[in-house]
Amino acid sequence: MHYSKTAFQNGTEPTIVTRISDFEDVIGQRMDFSDYDLMKLNRLYNCSSSFSFMDSCDFELENICGMIQSPGDSADWQRVSQVLGGPENDHSNMGQCKDSGFFMYFNTSSVNEGDTAMLESRMLYPKIGFQCLEFYLYNSGNESDQVNIYTRVYTAGNPDGVLTLQREIKDISHLNSTGIIPDPVPPSTSIVPDPVPTSTVQNACSEVECQNGGICTVHDDRAECKCPAGEDWWYMGKRCEKRGSTQDTIVIAVASTVTVFAVMLIITLVSVYCTRRKYRKKTSSNTAALSLENVSPM
């Protein structure tokens, strides 16, 4: 149940009343979709699979949902409830709740050109094949301001993580108050808004078409396809054109084992046959020599 007891309130009394009173304050958690919700959405949009939105942040608490200000940037984002030039309120409650309605604000006019302000999220769970980032953006500054979305990818060679540019949002002056920018990204541990220009992702990915739900990203000035993956399946290849699974790996491993066993068996049989044939020839030669000695003239 994604609607709270006062979601359709027309007065002072709740409009959604549970049969068990203990559950009246439990409904409306809005954290994830039920199986029935996913089935309806899949049928409505003819989707082959689903990705659930598991986390959200409205910046109402001072800890800003565990996000941190990057120590390597030039300025910090500020948690405010209103600023000159707008917006007048945040998008979470649209100004309906008193003493609430905070959002993150970065004043580009107070810094020099090229300065950065990086806000990094906490670890995101669960770590599924892909995650979708959706946020609300308001820009009252210069048209040259932009926001970059990064993911921090951890590998054995880079335990501290490597920032990978996922999306570059330029010319955002037209996105005021109601602009929604969905951005599918691979599994990540950090999302960093960064108002500094970098290489143009759209140009690099304009000639790259990723298949099977893959997403084009830029790494080391090269366009690459990030392929989706699940617990027991994955896509691979330059364009995510090949599908693999745990079952395929098991079949390949078994087939390889059987092939190696068959080859070794053939080699063993051939070796035994050659050895026996050589031994028979040697035995025949010895027998012939012995016969000649016995038949020698008197």
pLDDT in tens, 200-225: 444 567 778 888 877 777 766 778 88
> Which of 37-41, 122-126, 181-185, 206-210 comes out lowest in average pLDDT?
181-185
- The pLDDT tens digits for 83-137 are 877 777 777 766 667 777 888 888 887 788 878 888 888 776 656 556 667 777 7
**Does residue 76 sit within a domain?**
yes
Could you tell me if residue 278 is inside a domain? no
DSSP code of 24? T
CA atoms within 13 A on the CB side of 30: 10
Structure-model confidence comparison of residues 297 and 23, the more confident one: 23
**Cα(95)–Cα(92) distance, integer angstroms:** 8
- Distances in Å between the alpha carbon of 270 and those of 103, 257, 262, 273? 78, 20, 12, 5
Residue range 38-67: average pLDDT? 73
Please spell the DSSP secondary structure of 18-83, one letter per residue. Answer: -SSGGGTTTS---SS--HHHHHHHHHHHT-S------------STTGGG-EE-TTSSB--EEES--
Q: How far is residue 26's CA from residue 275's CA, in Å, rounded to a whole number?
A: 81
Kindly indicate the confidence band of residue 285, based on its pLDDT and cuts at 50, 70 and 90.
low
- Examine the pLDDT at 228 and tell me if it is beyond 70: yes
Question: Residue 235 domain-assigned?
Answer: no
Question: Please, how many CA atoms are within 13 Å of residue 58, restricted to the half-sphere of its CB?
Answer: 13
In this structure, what CATH number is given to the domain that contains residue 116? Answer: 2.60.120.200
Residues in the chain: 298
Stretch (H or E) spanning 273: helix 246-294
pLDDT value of position 181: 39
pLDDT at residue 296 greater than cutoff 60: no
Contacts of 29 (CB under 8 A, 6+ apart): 2
- Least confidently predicted of 40-44, 168-172, 239-243, 251-255: 168-172
Q: How confident is the model at residue 186 (pLDDT cuts 50, 70, 90)?
A: very low
Instruction: Give me the domain span that covers residue 82.
Output: 31-198
53 located within any domain: yes
DSSP 70: -
Over range 253-268, report the average pLDDT.
86
Distances, alpha carbon 21 to alpha carbons 4, 16, 26, 210, in Å: 13, 11, 10, 50
Q: Which of residues 51 and 179 earns the better pLDDT score?
A: 51
Any domain includes 168: yes
pLDDT given for residue 184 in this prediction: 41
pLDDT, tens only, 13-28: 777 777 777 767 666 6
pLDDT of amino acid 198 = 38
Answer yes or no: is pLDDT of 31 > 70.
no
Is position 47 within any domain? yes
In a domain, 264, yes or no: no
Q: Is the pTM of this model over 0.85?
A: no
Domain count across the chain? 1
In whole angstroms, give the CA distance from residue 153 to residue 186.
9
**Residue 117: strand, helix, or coil:** strand
Q: Are 17 and 24 in contact (CB under 8 A)?
A: yes
CA dist., res. 132 & res. 121, Å (int): 14
Residue 227 covered by a domain: no
Residue 191 has pLDDT above 50, yes or no: no
Sign of CA dihedral 209, 211, 215, 221: negative
Which of the residue ranges 54-63, 151-160, 179-188, 226-235 would you say has the lowest mean pLDDT? 179-188
